[in-house]
Amino acid sequence: MSLFGHRDYRHLFGAQLVALFGTGLTTVALGLLAYDLAGSDAGAVLGTALAIKMITYVTVAPLAVAYAATGCRAVSSSSRWTRSARWWCSPCPSSTRSGRSTS
């Protein structure tokens, strides 16, 4: 329970809970909408919608990681969050993620 003593961790944990709740609620709402729109063919509609969702996750996630690793210099460097994550935003083939030199 000592992790919850850290303010940043509590906020991150709470945000993750809200995000998970929202994702579950969205899936249920999508199922109800598919049934409302297609009736007996709701399975096909829901399957197509969830397949599109998964394909988007699988294709967009690697692109987002690649952008974050190479192209996030447009983010203001004065931000407290940017300063703490500068190791992520400044790609350097000769350094590791911790910012220490590998040579």
Higher pLDDT among residues 2 and 12, named by residue = 12
**Mean pLDDT over all residues of the chain?**
77
According to the model, what pLDDT value does residue 71 have? 65
Backbone angles phi, psi at 10, to 5 degrees: -60, -45
According to the model, what pLDDT value does residue 79 have? 53
* CA-CA-CA-CA torsion sign (78, 82, 87, 93): negative
Residue 94 has pLDDT above 50, yes or no: no
Supply the pTM of this predicted model: 0.50
Q: Which residue has the tokens 């000769």?
A: 94
pLDDT in tens, 33-62: 999 999 999 999 999 988 998 998 899 888
d(CA 53, CA 46) in angstroms, rounded, equals: 10
Do residues 37 and 45 make contact, with C-beta atoms less than 8 angstroms apart? yes
Supply 66's token pair: 């690649």
Minimum mean pLDDT range among 18-32, 34-48, 81-95: 81-95
